[in-house]
Amino acid sequence: MKILITGGAGYIGGELTYQLANHDDVEEVVVYDNLNRGNYNLFISNRNRITNDKVRFVYGDLLDSRTLKSAIKGIDVVYHLAAKVTNPFETVDTNVFEQVNHWGTAEVVALVEETETVKKFYYLSSTAVYGFSAKGEFLTEDSRLNPRSFYGISKMRGEEQVARLLEKIDGAIIRCGNVYGYTPSIRFDSVINRFAFDSNFNNRISIHGNGKQSRSFIHVSKLMTLLEDLRNDKVPNGIYNFADKNLQILDLVDVFKEVYPELEFIFINQHLDLRDLTIDLDLKLKEYISVSDSDFKEEILAMKNESFSF
């Protein structure tokens, strides 16, 4: 099995590259990435150094049709992870979001349609396509899409491109909650990872709004398990939400205070009551795969004790 991972050097892609390369049924993993985040950890991390010849790196953009077409040649499975991501509710760089997340996805889909070898295609989307949820509402895959950010709009349009492809080949669209947890290419612009860094090194975290807004979350290790399992024909074609926790920001703060008793926190624009975005945790995916329970405090302790060097 030959696998292409767009965004394969990123936060999620780098870990997926490492995991897949260690499966006996995987012949080659092609990492397609433009390294625009300046993240080279896949290539230098002791933990993720690949000791065999299974991994091949291709430097390129999604809209670089010639390079992308060459990278897709002979591929059996595509994981499309590459995206412009800063914050799911970012409201700047509208053109970049559209070019990368929408038209970049359209380019990947078009080139996959041209090849006869790709049999499976998996697209990592986001719960940001829903926009927001009402207080006490838990969104399902059947909920109306109403993205409220340029990021969410671009991911929704990317989904439209992929949905057309999934009428022809196997695959799935995964609407992921806010991903957290350590990998060598960890992002620190997501709320839990940012809190973990600031708690450990600055002893202070910043809370935007009054902190009563709720979000859906999933640990990166569980996302890895899902992505690895997808290629084994367990999950039918379709669109799936994926998260295992709905937590208020203040709930996060409480746990970080337990882990770091001297932690300080400040509010920014505390008068703002920001909107919720929570999903129904009775996931459709649970019909096909198991999602293990985990203790959030234990996960934060692991980040403190195992991930940070001081």
Structure tokens that stand for 19 in this block: 């995991």
Average pLDDT value for residue range 176-189: 93
List the alpha helices (DSSP H) in 115-248. 150-165, 191-201, 220-230
In contact, 80 and 108? CB cutoff 8 Å: yes
CA 117 vs. chain centroid, Å, equals 26
Tell me: do 163 and 210 sit in the same domain: no
pLDDT of 92 > 90? The answer is no
> 122 to each of 175, 177, 188, 197, how far by Cα in Å?
11, 16, 25, 31
Residue 285 lies in a domain: no
What domain range includes position 78? 2-180+216-245
Judgement on whether residues 28 and 153 belong to the same structural domain of the protein: yes
Residue 83 belongs to a domain with what CATH number? Answer: 3.40.50.720
> Residues 116, 220: one domain?
yes
Identify the pLDDT of residue 43. 85
Q: What is the pLDDT of residues 22-69, one digit of tens each?
A: 899 999 999 999 998 888 888 886 555 565 689 999 999 999 999 999
Burial 66-76 (b: 16+ CB within 10 A, else e): ebbeebbeebb
CATH of the domain at 208: 3.90.25
Name the residue with tokens 């002979």. Answer: 74
Task: Report if residue 34 sits inside a domain.
Answer: yes
- Decide if 222 is inside a domain: yes
Query: Quick one: pLDDT at residue 90?
Result: 55
Q: State the Cα–Cα distance between residues 14 and 40, nearest whole angstrom.
A: 10
| Structure-token match 């459709």, residue found | 284
Mean pLDDT in residue range 176-180 = 97
What is the mean predicted confidence (pLDDT) over 239-253?
97
Whether residue 51 sits in one domain with residue 87: yes
Among 226, 232, 202, smallest CA distance to 289 is for 226
Structure token pair of residue 81: 């992870």
The total domain count for the chain is 2
Q: Given the structure tokens 């975290």, which residue do they identify?
A: 205
Residues 153 and 259 in one domain: no
How many Cβ atoms are within 10 Å of 99's Cβ, its own excluded? 17
Residue 130 lies in a domain: yes
185 found inside a domain? no
What pLDDT is stored for residue 308 in this prediction? 82
Q: In whole angstroms, what is the distance from residue 123 CA to residue 158 CA?
A: 9
If asked whether residues 29 and 69 sit together in one domain, one would say yes
SS3 call for 227: helix
**How far apart, in whole angstroms, are the C-alpha atoms of residue 99 and residue 68?**
15
The whole-number pLDDT of residue 96 equals 87
Is residue 151 located within the same domain as residue 208? Answer: no
Examine the domain organization and report whether 176 and 266 are in the same domain.
no
What's the burial of 85, exposed, middle or buried (CB within 10 Å: 0-12/13-18/19+)?
buried
Strand ranges (E), 34-119? 55-59, 77-80
Does residue 234 or residue 297 have the better pLDDT?
A: 297
In this structure, the answer to whether residues 275 and 241 fall within a common structural domain is no
- Would residue 186 count as lying in a domain? no
Residues noted as catalytic: 151
64 and 148 together in one domain: yes
In a domain? residue 141: yes
Domain shared by 62 and 176, yes or no: yes
User: Does residue 132 sit within a domain?
Assistant: yes
Q: Are residues 205 and 230 in the same domain?
A: no
